[in-house]
Structure 1
Amino acid sequence: VTFDLVLYGIFCAAVFVLVYMLPSRDFFLNLDAVLALFLVLALSGPGILHSSYILEALFKTDVLCFASLFALRSFVGIVFLEVGISMTVLESQGVARAARANDILRWLLPILPEYPVARTFYDLIESNFTGTKVDYVWGLQRESLLPNVLFAIFDSVIYSGIFWLVRGGLFKPSECSRNKAGSSAAVRPAQALSQKILRITGVHFSYKTSSSSSQREERGLRGLTFSVYSKGVLGFVGSCGSGKSTLLKVLAGVLVPTKGTVSRADVAAGECDRVSTSTPGLATGYCPQSGGLFPTMTVEEHMKFYADLFASSTDSKQTVKSANNF
């Protein structure tokens, strides 16, 4: 939004330079009218942009952003038209460069979708100064205005589509779009995934705390029952001290549950030592993530980092490979 507003401000400044520095027809000799006109345009532009972004976020639609784009392109048409008028005046005064520029504008302006909207706007404004009835101006523009406006809308749709493709679509996928693609695959219903690899049934875990006067038992986990499926992601959300780390340690076998069972691939937790841990899905590891490393490491790199600290290089590679396949 900031970039759009800065760009719009530069554009409005350029418009003022064109209006005040280049000669134009008699209508623009009234500088107060010109100043009021472009002040309205300059002040309404940021309002249009802000409103479109806010409403787009609220209603999850691109229609309002498209409408603001069309309004700004109509403003561009007004500027092009003013430049063309100024070039015509300069050409009549014998300026050769203006004549060459005007030749280009004569070919360019009629095919721009912004032109008919700007042309109608100018005619309506001028009618107020010359006393021409608005009905007469509307009669002149009525036949060509509707098809030209429809063409401008269609052209803006094409323009928006090309802009999306180049900036964040097929040609240049952004990191955000890649993350969204991965997230959408990760949040599919667990039942639609493959077989269960962890089954937790009625798990309780209690630990003892001691003070100067007595010793008491605190319950960390209370009757948890759920399943984990292969090729899926399961998240635990809770406040500090709610038992997230305790549960992960129970699942990894670091802590033994006070009550209940944890089964891995149809093998009870107590029998896991007899199962080959090289087979993907038959072992559960616990890899804590460090806040300083998380932004710069992938999950695989993070696992390998801890594996290199506590295992030989061969075991480390095999562990990471198995977990990655899992």
Structure 2
Amino acid sequence: MATTARRAPASKARTAIPQVSWRDPQPAPVVLVSGPEEVCAERATAALRDYLRAEDESLEVSDLRADDYSPGALLSVTSPSLFGEPRLVRITGVEKCSDAFLAEAVSYLAHPQDGATVVFRHSGATVRGKKLLDAIRAGEGGGIEIPCAAVKRDSDRFDFAAGEFTAARRRIAPIALRTLVSAFSDDLTELAAACQQLIADVPGDITEQVVERYYGGRVETSAFTVADTAIAGRYGEALIALRQALASGSDPVPLVAAIAMKLRTMARVAGIRESSQSLAARLGMKDWQVDRARRDLSGWTDATLGMAIQAAARADAEVKGASRDPVFALERLVTVIATRAPYGQ
């Protein structure tokens, strides 16, 4: 019983400080930027710098490494200068910090320097520095935490990209957003750079055609072009898109995966009379994904959709080794979907 009583306050202490979005960080004497997503962490730190510099252009910015730390460095860079300029200290590598840094950082929390903002970056890769993190989260130093959780799921990437355009007060068409996210599904840094390039280069709304012009060479973008044209019943266009994708080096496996994903989404919403918003929430989708799947279902029946899903399952096995000719398997799949009839009829 005594052990349980001692642990309870510690659990509360870990959530004692405010949790702040990395898109809208606020300065504090101590800022913990936690989590593995470097893109978000870099954005948060840069935003803090810009915020402080906008308040006072004389801001002094210093960088320290927690894993290569010289004793006394933290106190030196946070101490007031002759003219009292505000200070921003950015500390990286806290997850692999030295013993000297850990001792001085924990001690600093008891007496933060006036006019100083200290940003501790901990990726969460190790438990090193846990004593410091626990102290910050318990409220020592009057800090805040900016969580930067890993962006792994498709829905997380959609939210990230949508947030990029929302923050810039720019509009992007839902299908253009999906195409863009699909084109950079494996690298959040590249996705962020692509969003910023479109924001900087393209005046007005960002359409599917704009994204295709910029990033049409990406494998995933080509895959969804094939899928969209086949499902829409545009047989000739679908075959041309397929051959272009293959000629540009696209692998058959992600091409089949893109087609199968769209068919599965169509099957999930088929025949359900429910608002897009409530259905999307129930299925773990976005409103626009439900709307697009319902539009894609135009002209389809339960029988033809079932036939297409079976054809996609067969093609998936064939392009993964069950057939000696994966290109033929793809062409047969596209034919079945675009004509909505068994192959050869």
TM-score when normalising by structure 2: 0.21
Instruction: Write 1 or 2 for the structure with the bigger share of helix.
Output: 1
Which one has more relative contact order, counting CA pairs under 8 Å at least 6 apart?
A: 2
